[in-house]
Every structure is written in structure tokens, then in C-alpha cells.
């Protein structure tokens, strides 16, 4: 049984207007091949991607327990499907997060969509106050901003989760959601710009 207690993760604070750091693709590809060939245990891939998968799943679920259970399902599905994985232009991270995305979609059928505030970049959050009054105001602004997030469409929440919780590049996100890279970048930046403007309005 995989140990999927909530892992410590530092992802989710990527730059708003920039790309994620390039992935060392050759090293990842070599790791995948080694696991497929039986030279390494699947735990090597599990440890490599656990934090990012959990962060993404947690951003789309309502509780730590749901996220842990769903993360376990994602890795079990990946373990079963790994022998059939072939690069063919699809990065491994995109392949893995496509599994995670489908698992989340299945989980959310009949469940109200959720967005974890902590998965969003710090630049979208109002500045923390230093006194009680400022803290109360910040809580009120967070509540209002959560309401804004709740009104976002499913596709926009998905883009935010894949970019900031999963820490995927725009190219990887495009593969996961089945859209062109140009369209993905345009939609993501529009969503971020609108959300950032509304967040700043709340901080005024």
C-alpha cells in the first residue's frame, strides 16, 4: 500500500506571467525507462511526482483525506498503465497528470468543485496585515476572493490548478487538456489577469 499521508510540498508559487522552470526531460525519460525495464522500482517515480500530484489533487478536492485517497488511485492507475507508456512526443509529466485529471473529474461527478486557496500564487493574495484589524480585513477579502474563484468556470479552475498546484509548463498543460499551446497560454493569461485585477480591487 502506498503511503499517501499529506506530503510536504512547496509548489504552487510559480510566476504569474512566466513559464515554469524547464524540466530535465532526458533524466525523467531515463528514469521512466529504468522503471519499465525493471531496473528501478516504481517508487522512484512515485517519489519524484508525489508532491506535485498531491498538490494538484488537493487543489481540486474538499479535504486532505479525499486528496490522499485520490492520489493513491492516480499512482495505482499509473503503475498499471506504465508498461503501455511510450513517449511519442507526450512528456511523462503530461501523461501522468492526464491520469490525475481524469481521476479528479470522475471524483467530482456529483461533488461540488473545490479550489484550495493555498495553491494559488502569492501575488494573487492580499497582503497579510500586522494587526488584528488588518487580519480581520484580510479574512474578509479572502472570503470574497474565494467567492470569485467559486464563480470561475470549471475550465478556468482547471488551468489554475494545473499551472500552480501541479506546477506544469504551458506546453504540458496543453497536452493534459487536449488544447493547442497557444490557446492554453492565451486562456491561462486571460484568467490570471482578470483574477489578479479583481484580487487587487479587494485589497484597495
CA 35/CA 33 separation, integer angstroms = 5
> How confident is the model at residue 59, as a pLDDT?
86
Residue 185 belongs to a domain: yes
Residue 16 belongs to a domain: no
Residue 163 is part of which domain span? 25-203
Among 5-14, 28-37, 185-194, which is the least confidently predicted range?
5-14
Residue 15 belongs to a domain: no
> How confident is the model at residue 21, as a pLDDT?
46
Q: What is the CA radius of gyration of the chain?
A: 18
Q: Which residue has the higher pLDDT, 102 or 13?
A: 102
CA 159/CA 40 separation, integer angstroms = 33
* Closest listed residue to residue 116, CA positions, set 71, 161, 53: 161
**Residue whose cell numbers read 511519442:** 88
Residue 2 belongs to a domain: no
* Other C-beta atoms lying within 10 Å of the C-beta of residue 118: 14
Residue 13 belongs to a domain: no
pLDDT tens digit sequence for 24-46: 555 888 999 999 999 989 999 99
- Tell me: pLDDT of 191 over 60: yes
- Tell me: pLDDT of 114 over 50: yes
- Give residue 123's Cα distance to chain centre: 17
Count of structural domains, the chain:
1
> How confident is the model at residue 43, as a pLDDT?
92
Residue 136 belongs to a domain: yes
Please state at what angle helix 181-203 crosses helix 132-151, rounded to 10 degrees: 150
Residue 6 belongs to a domain: no
Q: Is the pTM higher than 0.85?
A: no
- Give residue 16's Cα distance to chain centre: 14
> How confident is the model at residue 90, as a pLDDT?
86
pLDDT tens digit sequence for 50-107: 999 999 998 888 888 989 999 999 999 999 999 999 877 789 999 999 999 999 988 8
Q: Which residue has the higher pLDDT, 62 or 121?
A: 62
Residue 12 belongs to a domain: no
> How confident is the model at residue 9, as a pLDDT?
45
Amino acid at each position: 500500500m502506498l503511503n499517501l499521508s499529506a506530503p510536504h510540498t512547496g509548489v504552487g508559487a510559480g510566476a504569474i506571467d512566466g513559464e515554469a522552470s524547464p524540466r530535465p526531460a532526458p533524466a525523467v525519460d531515463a528514469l521512466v525507462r529504468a522503471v519499465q525495464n525493471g531496473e528501478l522500482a516504481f517508487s522512484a517515480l512515485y517519489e519524484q511526482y508525489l508532491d506535485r500530484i498531491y498538490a494538484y489533487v488537493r487543489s481540486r478536492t474538499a479535504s486532505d483525506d479525499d486528496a490522499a485517497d485520490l492520489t493513491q488511485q492516480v499512482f495505482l492507475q499509473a503503475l498499471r498503465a506504465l508498461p503501455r507508456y511510450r513517449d511519442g512526443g507526450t512528456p511523462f509529466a503530461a501523461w501522468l497528470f492526464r491520469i490525475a485529471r481524469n481521476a479528479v473529474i470522475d471524483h467530482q461527478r456529483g461533488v461540488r468543485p473545490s479550489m484550495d486557496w493555498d495553491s494559488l500564487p502569492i501575488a494573487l493574495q492580499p497582503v497579510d496585515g500586522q494587526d488584528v484589524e488588518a487580519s480581520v480585513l484580510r479574512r474578509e477579502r479572502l472570503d470574497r476572493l474565494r467567492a470569485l474563484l467559486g464563480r470561475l468556470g470549471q475550465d478556468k479552475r482547471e488551468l489554475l490548478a494545473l499551472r500552480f498546484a501541479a506546477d506544469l509548463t504551458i506546453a504540458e498543460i496543453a497536452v493534459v487538456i487536449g488544447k493547442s499551446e497557444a490557446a492554453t497560454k492565451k486562456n491561462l493569461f486571460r484568467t490570471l489577469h482578470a483574477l489578479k485585477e479583481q484580487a487587487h480591487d479587494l485589497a484597495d
